[in-house]
Amino acid sequence: MADQPISEATVGRLPDYLRTLVELAGDDVAGVSSKHLATQVGVNSATLRRDLSALGITGTRGVGYDVKYLLFEISRVLGVHQEWRVAVVGAGNLGQALVNYDGLTQRGFPIVVLFDNDESKVGSIMGGIVVHHVDHMAELVSELGVNVGIIATAAEAAQSIADAFVEAKIVSLLDFTAGPLAVPDHVVVRRVDLATELQILSFYQQRDTAVSGGTGVPLGA
């Protein structure tokens, strides 16, 4: 029943805990110690106990945690018991990949509508979803009960789409474009930028394979 605020780091670990717990439950494991679960997930057991404590989730001293209870509580905290209806803007390759990707629906995030500004795409069906014109975002988002928006357009359009989502009272956005988005404080944006991920990878590779020391060899401009 602790009342520490829940840190971003803690929230980020919850899906990992959930994933491992689902496996344990599948194997009919009833109880688990913080040490065992932490090892499975790859975190320190004190960190795990602290995370659970922050969520108000308790175990039994000398015994451990009940797997089903953990599963239920973490699911509840993450909102897994609720269905989150997703709108995707951008019916290009990425948008199409998203609507064709079962994983999102399976984990409780069905894509219910796809928007594009290209008239030739409007009206067509992709992954079982009808493509609507972006001009109709406000009405449809409200009508369909959308509560999460995904921006999968070209970078130039991102800000105006974000504005439209905000206008439509969406407060959770996942952005696949690179630039920073200006949104009101109550709107949460998470960014997925594949090229940046690859750049970070290449940084490590370059550093680890570099002939060590020195200011570095200048390459062709």
Instruction: Provide the binding-site residues for a copy of itself, judged by CB under 8 A.
Output: 6, 11-12, 14-16, 19, 41-42, 56, 72, 76-82, 84, 86, 93-94, 96-98, 100-101, 103-104, 106-107, 109, 147-148, 171-174, 178-180, 186, 188, 190, 192-209, 215-216, 218-221
DSSP assignment of 77-126 equals HHTTTS---EEEE--SHHHHHHHH-HHHHHTT--EEEEEES-TTTTT-EE
Cα–Cα distance, 221 to 208 (Å, whole number)? 23
Give 15 or 135: the residue with its C-beta nearer to a copy of itself.
15
Quick check: 166 and 183 in contact, CB under 8 A?
Answer: yes
Are the CB atoms for 172 and 149 separated by under 8 Å?
yes
**Which residue, 135 or 182, has its beta carbon nearer to a copy of itself?**
182
Report d(CA 90, CA 121) in Å as an integer.
Answer: 10
Shorter beta-carbon distance to a copy of itself: residue 130 or 155: 155
Q: Does 50 bind DNA (CB under 7 A)?
A: yes
Question: Between 12 and 218, whose beta carbon lies closer to DNA?
Answer: 12
Q: Summarize as ranges the residues that interact with DNA (CB under 7 A).
A: 1-2, 7-10, 33-35, 43-47, 49-50, 52-53, 58-65
